[in-house]
Amino acid sequence: MVWTKAKVNLALSLVIVFIGISVADLKVGFYSNTCPQAESIVKRVVSGASLSDPNLPAILLRLHFHDCFVEGCDGSILVDNGAISEKFAFGHEGVRGFEIIEAAKAELEAACPGVVSCADIVALAARDAISLANGPAYEVPTGRRDGRVSNLSLAKDMPDVSDSIEILKDKFMRKGLHAKELVLLSAAHTIGTTACFFMTKRLYNFLPGGQPDPTINPVFLPELTTQCPQNGDINTRIPMDRSSERLFDQQILQNIKDGFAVLQTDAGLYEDVATRQIVNSYVGLLNPLFGPSFESDFVKAMVKMGKINLKTGSNGEIRRVCSAFN
């Protein structure tokens, strides 16, 4: 078979579409001419809101992740179109921060009507939230447009706390993300909390006879069962990072290595050969001198995630309010 240049280009395009990362270009400073104050407005809104809610950095970071993992980073999770709204999917249980995005959108519409997408606001807000938690500051490529579809049935394949490491790797691969991004984006659990609801099986019914997950460090198990007692309040929230739930750092990777992971999926990262090697690369004794930079690699993973199934150019729309299609 003779491969012409056109056939090669077509094949490459199909591969890229298959793995989920869009070929469309975003650009840092996309709004520099059309709405030069866009990023500063988002930053001010996020900073102001964080004063009354110290958990906001984790909330906005999670919102960005959940938005990107359904129809791509297109603001579909923000839409309220009744009982079928994507935001009501079980996989989005506990996702919050919608009012912060809407507040930023209102200010942007007053300054630059019809210019800045809700999808970009979500990405920018996540970046600003990470910085507020003492995480890395980085530039966000913008130029996304908002999607025109929001349906809870589309969120049925969201990563779940009960997923095995193989299932997680497959779900990430389908979005064009690999084992390294799985580890790095899971490390976002360095900030924020989870509900005891998601801990019940791991603590009280992981093995026959009501035994806990054996990968939990014996020193840590009593802490978890005290925080989430059997038959206790499943809505009680506990930190996902044992020592620094409001500080963005790589401590969670050390916790995973030492058996102090809170979530089953985080613990699973150390049970798989590929992901264990990645975790170890960031927490080894020689890492500060010779190892990779966790913060730098986390930023790369965030930017890559932010390009899943993009809608740009004439695809999609720029909503006037984030909770409703135009």
Q: What are 216's two structure tokens?
A: 């939990």
Task: Judge contact between 216 and 178, C-beta under 8 A.
Answer: no
- The single-letter code of the amino acid at 25 is D
86 is in an annotated binding site: yes
Exposed / middle / buried, residue 8 (Cβ in 10 Å: 0-12, 13-18, 19+)? exposed
163 is in an annotated binding site: no
Catalytic residue status for 66? yes
How many angstroms separate the CA atoms of 227 and 218, rounded? 15
70 is in an annotated binding site: yes
Task: Judge contact between 294 and 250, C-beta under 8 A.
Answer: yes
Q: What is the DSSP string of 54-115?
A: TTHHHHHHHHHHHHHHHHSSSSGGG---STT-GGGSGGGTT---HHHHHHHHHHHHHHSTTT
80 is in an annotated binding site: no
67 is in an annotated binding site: yes
Torsion, Cα 296 257 192 244, to 10 degrees, reads -90
22 is in an annotated binding site: no
236 is in an annotated binding site: no
249 is in an annotated binding site: yes
Q: Out of 64, 66, 92, 178, pick the active-site residue.
A: 66
How many angstroms separate the CA atoms of 31 and 117, rounded? 10
Query: Which segments are annotated as binding site?
Result: 67, 70, 72, 74, 76, 86, 159, 189-190, 241, 249
Annotation: binding site for substrate: 159
Residue list, annotated binding site for Ca(2+): 67, 70, 72, 74, 76, 86, 190, 241, 249
- Residues that are catalytic: 66
Residue ranges for the known binding site for heme b are 189
